[in-house]
């Protein structure tokens, strides 16, 4: 369905969009790179701690999804705050938001492809 060769290309392309944006007024938009690193961590920790055999909703997994959502929303909000404070131009903000969309779509695609327990296990890593 989804060619796995294109995932690294999406990541490098969106990192390029993030780097193109900040040139004239500094490198403030590069702070969103921290959000890229932090976003999968809560869900990965919850997957390690939670037993998936239980069919009911789990509070640990729900908290992890909530924290991940907060990180993603913050990654989209930070460039807008920087643009409103005139630390970056609005064009740079648009480039960073485009890069955010691509990066988070790539992270979501990774978890959709490798997240099922059919023939892949996180214990192999």
Cα(8)–Cα(14) distance, rounded to whole angstroms? 10
The secondary structure of the chain in percent helix, strand, coil, rounded to multiples of 5, reads: 70, 0, 30
Cα(41)–Cα(20) distance, rounded to whole angstroms? 27
Percent share of the chain, pLDDT over 70: 66
What is the pTM assigned to this prediction?
Answer: 0.70
Percent share of the chain, pLDDT over 90: 30
Cα(108)–Cα(2) distance, rounded to whole angstroms? 12
Spatial CA neighbour of 97 closest among 7, 13, 32:
32
Q: What is the pLDDT of residues 71-98, one digit of tens each?
A: 999 999 999 999 999 888 888 889 899 9
25 vs 14: which has the higher pLDDT:
25
Cα(84)–Cα(100) distance, rounded to whole angstroms? 18
């Amino acid at each position: 369905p989804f060619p796995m060769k294109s995932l690294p290309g999406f990541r490098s392309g969106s990192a390029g969009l993030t780097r193109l944006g900040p040139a004239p007024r500094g490198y403030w938009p590069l702070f969103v790179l921290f959000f890229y690193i932090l976003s999968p961590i809560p869900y990965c920790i919850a997957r390690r701690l939670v037993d998936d055999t239980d069919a009911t909703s789990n509070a640990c997994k729900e908290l992890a999804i909530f924290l991940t959502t907060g990180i993603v929303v913050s990654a989209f909000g930070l460039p807008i705050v920087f643009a409103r404070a005139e630390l970056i131009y609005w064009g740079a903000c648009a480039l960073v938001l485009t890069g955010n969309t691509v990066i988070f779509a790539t992270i979501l695609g990774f978890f959709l492809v490798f997240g099922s327990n059919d023939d892949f296990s996180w214990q192999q890593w």
